[in-house]
Structure 1
């Protein structure tokens, strides 16, 4: 590939590309910038040594996470009792570390692949980096490139292959487009037409409603996080959710309270919950997030009242927020490492779905909704998906809007309604095509109601999960692989 920039220009381009990628996600929704960002880091990469390529990848990753996960600062500073300098340092450290997930594949790309069909091998390694980020060290699949496409023309690919297929097509669009425009490789036009034409041929809906719709009400208490666990905060929570429950429209079948709606243990909350249960309409169900405690530890859970059967304990916990890695070393160093309720235990794998108001519900608490294969495993045994969250930790940042965008993609991938109940937004009902049918305003004490249907059938993604997209990405690496040997080219 001809030289387009000097290495230092490529590093600047990579920083710009990382910021552009953030603009593809909510609340900006400029999804078409995704291929542009990929092209910026791809062009000229064959003029670099493996080390220079790694630095370019790191620059991209640092800019992406520094801009796209800036809400980390809000969690650490505003709610983690941490001063500004230390909060800035920890946020920067977070971005610096996650950027290594792009440095490594860029190094591998220059070390083990050549210019033969480079557009394919670059895309394959990009997806490998997203998969690694999803699973290594408990995983962080936030800002996966494909998550931006829930509203783009590529959206019909989500039920076929999930977020990783969307990422793969986005990267291929960038690499093929760069080859077409800069190297005049006209053959690249044909696969571009296929990639963007395929969604037009796919079914609009892979699943079908079963039975009569159910009326659902989602309650949003909007309680201050910093006083939530105080005695006054507990009283406010009890009074707020009891009042909102009394205001639920007649005929409601299912009521949802958000994650840890009542900031107390389930055993402490039981008298209040029993009083609320007496006010429920006949055959109605109420699901609430709550903290359970038993001999095995503390659990972030969802339990039910009324016409319900079963409960759920969160399986995939948030590092630092719900459990402390290297606890013996980190506890007590700074206040952020001593957050309340940061000693949870994980629930068992393969828990049975909750049955409530005639619906079979697959549950994902807060952070779990961003894991595509975890949610698909729940959707295989459920006809509706539920996620409850406490997005108060994100404040007024872009975090809650990115969070609901990923919840919308889970609905689209699995052809299921998603009920999203949150403490202060974004509380919403999402239909099986990923569209928000009704939502509550952020930062208001309110409720929203609407109809949902049990969905029968499975999308291809629900049946298989992500492995077909992973396999396709792996096959794309093969044509470009070469045996490493003495380098004859030098960076220019």
Structure 2
């Protein structure tokens, strides 16, 4: 299996296929073993490419990945963004093509700077650094990181140690070293075996549960998104959530409403919330997602009612959903750019946790749950995690199921239960191992009841975050850079 036996055209096709396989490795397909295969297909023959050819191979991979795994953005653009089908298709294609530039840039830099020596290691390190770049550049899009697919694989035990980027690194190493092993090299096969067998020796429990469980109910209203902000939609939301709250209140310690459950600002909803509070037992707490406004701006928030104190305001906002980039240029251009509510204001990252029903709760609103280090920061001061979301924007697509999988990984990384309350699904209770213990069906109005436990102690990942893995990935790349530079100087 020589580096030069794979023609460039066949390599581009293999990379496009690899992108699709990465989607299949993630939820809802959960064919996790395809993750290393996908990396191997992109890596195969990479040393025979020029930097430009490597960039095109990376772009081909990105087209396959985001075209198959993130094209659900079409639903929000067309179905809920009042955009015609041709324009929605065009905008979705532009989004996919733009996101594909991240792996293109990663592979261009890899071939521009690194040499063939230690290629399997430096390629895996570069892969992870490319994912880090995609996580943070231009507000970030850490969706479909290849490590996320491993939440149900034998590698999952690594998650509390180093988080999603460690899973990505080991998945990438398995793919690159697997190619080298097929070239009848024994050392790569031994390294792969070690990476997959070490989890058997890792602790099975990094955190410990509190003695008594907490009884929770999460309400899923399944209200139509297109009429939510109308006067009738406001009345429907109030009637739905107030009625469901009365039905589940008895014997429940904590009731959770989803993101922006009442389509109004807190000052408008306060009289209604006080009526709910009057009907609750003194020891029962209610948390709800709601919009707030004050002199500092507009905020997407979670607040407490009854036996709850504190609030959380969203710190990491979604472009085009909660604020409009380049607003002077884009505002009014097409209906999709007209936000349904005033542009939100990002809150401070350091916020005190919410106290409710004897729990210290670290919160993440909607998209924030996909940011591993943001959630780890919340978990350091909390014994349970909460995420409220409105996935109605993505309809019956892969998006909500992928979103749920990332919430599962956050639970596993931090050894914390995650309560996930959504408007129309997937509402779920996730335990400290990332397992779903209770789940509501999508697209139904229902109350999901179950129990959660406060968890004590911290995982290594909660304490350190991702920087040790970022450093390790950098160290894997550096020897390849040094050897390449030495070779160029020698010639």
**TM-score using structure 2 length:** 0.98
Q: Note the residue ranges of structure 1 that are not aligned, 5 or more in a row.
A: none
Which residue of the partner structure matches residue 92 of structure 2?
91
CA displacement, residues 231-273 of structure 1 (integer Å, 9 cap, x when unaligned): 1110000000011001105211000000000001111111111
Which residue of the partner structure matches residue 313 of structure 2?
313
In structure 2, C-alpha distance between the alignment counterparts of 1:336 and 1:484, rounded to whole Å: 52
Contact 2:242 2:276 survives alignment (8 Å): yes
In structure 2, C-alpha distance between the alignment counterparts of 1:237 and 1:362, rounded to whole Å: 26
CA displacement, residues 374-414 of structure 1 (integer Å, 9 cap, x when unaligned): 00000000000000000000100010000000000000000
Equivalent runs, 1:473-488 vs 2, <5 Å: 473-481=473-481, 482-483=484-485
Contact 2:430 2:438 survives alignment (8 Å): yes
Do structure 1's residue 243 and structure 2's residue 209 form an aligned pair? no
Q: CA deviation at 1:282?
A: 2.3
CA displacement, residues 84-112 of structure 1 (integer Å, 9 cap, x when unaligned): 11111111111111111101111111111
Q: Note the residue ranges of structure 2 that are not aligned, 5 or more in a row.
A: none
Contact 2:298 2:342 survives alignment (8 Å): no
The runs of 4+ residues in structure 1 deviating greater than 3 Å are: 484-489
Equivalent runs, 1:26-425 vs 2, <5 Å: 26-181=27-182, 183-248=183-248, 250-341=250-341, 343-425=343-425
How many pairs were matched up? 488
Q: CA deviation at 1:281?
A: 1.8
Q: CA deviation at 1:70?
A: 1.3
Classify the secondary structure of the residue corresponding to 1:70: coil
In structure 2, C-alpha distance between the alignment counterparts of 1:87 and 1:252, rounded to whole Å: 44
In structure 2, C-alpha distance between the alignment counterparts of 1:411 and 1:110, rounded to whole Å: 36
CA displacement, residues 140-199 of structure 1 (integer Å, 9 cap, x when unaligned): 101000001111111100000000000000000000000111x21111111011100011
In structure 2, C-alpha distance between the alignment counterparts of 1:187 and 1:4, rounded to whole Å: 23
Classify the secondary structure of the residue corresponding to 2:454: strand
Classify the secondary structure of the residue corresponding to 1:291: strand
CA displacement, residues 27-58 of structure 1 (integer Å, 9 cap, x when unaligned): 10001001111111111111111100110001
Alignment RMSD (CA, Å): 1.4
In structure 2, C-alpha distance between the alignment counterparts of 1:139 and 1:367, rounded to whole Å: 11
Contact 2:316 2:346 survives alignment (8 Å): yes
Contact 1:324 1:342 survives alignment (8 Å): no
Tell me: CA distance 1:238–1:56, structure 2 relative to 1, closer, same or farther (3 Å).
same
**TM-score using structure 1 length:** 0.97
Contact 2:414 2:462 survives alignment (8 Å): yes
CA displacement, residues 419-452 of structure 1 (integer Å, 9 cap, x when unaligned): 0000000001000000000011000000011111
In structure 1, C-alpha distance between the alignment counterparts of 2:41 and 2:23, rounded to whole Å: 14
Q: CA deviation at 1:478?
A: 2.1
In structure 1, C-alpha distance between the alignment counterparts of 2:40 and 2:490, rounded to whole Å: 25
Contact 1:320 1:342 survives alignment (8 Å): no
Which residue of the partner structure matches residue 448 of structure 1?
448
Contact 1:210 1:454 survives alignment (8 Å): yes
In structure 2, C-alpha distance between the alignment counterparts of 1:370 and 1:32, rounded to whole Å: 22
